[in-house]
Amino acid sequence: MENAQPTRYELLRVLTQTAAGTPMGTLLRSFWQPVAVAESIAPGQARALRVLSEDLTLYRGENGTPYLIGARCAHRCTILHTGWVEDGQIRCMYHGWRYDGTGQCTEMPAERHARPDLVKIAGYPVYEYAGLLFAYLGPAPAPAFELPRKPALEDPTRLRFIRYQEWDYNFFQGTENSLDATHVSYVHVWGKVSRFGDEITTALPELSYEETSAGIRQTAYRSATNIRISDWTFPNNNHIVSPGARKGDPWSDNATWHVAIDDEHTMRFAVSTAPSTDPETDKRFAEDRLDGYNPADHYRELFEEHRIPEGIGTGQVIASQDYVALRGQGVIVDRSQERLGQSDAGIALLRRIFLRELEAIREGRPGKAWTRLSEAVELPIQVPG
């Protein structure tokens, strides 16, 4: 019965499965995606990294160049990140086999008739951008590093803050939340916070969603002086603008990515940039993005004591609220139990696009050729009165 129609459960479950060989795993592997904060790894150091259910070794050569190769030595399968970085290569601590940044073995010291040229483990290209390390985990050749670029992220005159968190849930719940403007009026009024709270109000917006060359344009119309248009880029980046901590403070650009560690864990990257003005305003901006609090470490406090954390930046409060909503769906929500409404139009469009692209993969056809938004329609925008 291989041709039997999948059940609704099976159809939607595919959206959450990211291992190599799965349709979603194949789709996600055809894009550059952030896999680490650039500062999380120093020159000459190595660390373990799990992305899309795949175990890897991330290291920087002694000159700082980042490399991403397979997790284990081909010899006796020991983890490589506990080894030694030598120049641009890494040596296994068990028997000294050495690999370059493409995963090519280059030395097997105890072997009399060594043929390292016959031994290769996985190796993936890495691109450093906006304070993050992006990787491409698909088959060669890698596409040009174009789709993830945003002028606001690469303007060297702007302030930049990066936040990284790991949450114990499936990445697609976070991705869907980016296309769900309604949630803002409920999730984020809990312990209504600062000017972000004032701006959003509880007025339910008029929503519209439109597929673009890069992803989805999402428009939330609350009044003629309150229109937010955000820029969602396929397959897992959202880009919005937010007001500053006080009236008059500059607005910031905020780009977030949800990248699967595996199907039950997700890396969340957030890059915020804003124009630098005076030291006091710059400080407020920084404080609002202070790192160090991860709601996933505070499940009990958030879910059982219903306490929203105090003394942390607005960005962290918002992340905590989202954590309660999204982790509250379960680690992997069973979408066959849902009842979507007309206000879920963004989620419905998102799924239609993903299911269309997954269908192409299953049938061996090329998917959509996503391209950056042209400067003419550059997003996101907030229409002030």
- Cβ atoms 24, 138 nearer than 8 A: no
120 binds its own copies (CB under 8 A): no
Span from 124-132, 266-274, 339-347, 358-366 in contact with its own copies (CB under 8 A): 339-347
Considering only 40, 102, 104, 185, the residue that binds its own copies (CB under 8 A) is 185
Residue 188 pairs in a beta bridge with: none
| Residue 381: count of CB within 10 angstroms of its CB | 16
Considering only 42, 340, 377, 383, the residue that binds its own copies (CB under 8 A) is 340
| Measured distance CA(362)–CA(339) in Å, rounded | 27
Nearer to its own copies, 74 or 318 (CB): 74
Report the alpha-carbon angle 160-163-169, nearest 5: 150
Considering only 186, 223, 276, 299, the residue that binds its own copies (CB under 8 A) is 186
| Measured distance CA(385)–CA(40) in Å, rounded | 42
Shortest Cβ 94–its own copies spacing (Å):
5
Nearer to its own copies, 146 or 206 (CB): 206
- Cβ atoms 384, 228 nearer than 8 A: no
Shortest Cβ 325–its own copies spacing (Å):
5
265 binds its own copies (CB under 8 A): no
| Measured distance CA(222)–CA(208) in Å, rounded | 12
88 binds its own copies (CB under 8 A): no
Q: How many residues bind its own copies (CB under 8 A)?
A: 53
In angstroms, what CA-CA distances link 145 with 25, 125, 126, 129, 284? 20, 11, 10, 9, 33
| Measured distance CA(150)–CA(119) in Å, rounded | 39
Nearer to its own copies, 82 or 276 (CB): 82
Nearer to its own copies, 36 or 379 (CB): 36
Nearer to its own copies, 23 or 205 (CB): 205
29 binds its own copies (CB under 8 A): no
From 346, 78, 339, 82, select the one nearest 211 (Cα to Cα): 346
Return residues touching its own copies (CB under 8 A). Answer: 45, 47-48, 72, 74-79, 81-82, 92-96, 108-114, 119, 180, 182-183, 185-187, 190, 204, 302-304, 306, 324-325, 328-330, 333-335, 337-344
